[in-house]
Amino acid sequence: MDDWDDEEEWPDDSCNEDEVDLRPCPSCGAEIYEDAEQCPYCGEYVVWSNSAFSGKPLWWIILGLIGMVAVITALTVI
């Protein structure tokens, strides 16, 4: 009755659920909790950008606007 050595009952050590997600503060760059409302180091309120334009290069946004203008112009000419 050696049930004590059964490793299948114990969770895998590589999957640690106690790990927290850290992100750099947008203001000072210090590592803070992902769900923090205010940076404990610099005191700034943290706003994670969820904008559709965040992370896109400026030329990509301009190209998209030119494309929309071209489609609108083509539809009004017809």
* Distance of alpha carbon 55 from alpha carbon 13, whole angstroms: 35
Residue 32's CB is within 10 A of a number of other CB atoms, namely 20
Whole-angstrom Cα distance, residue 28 to residue 59? 28
pLDDT digits (tens, 9 = 90+) for 19-75: 778 989 888 989 999 888 999 999 999 887 776 666 678 888 899 999 999 999 999
pTM of the model: 0.40
Would you say residue 6 has pLDDT above 60? Answer: no
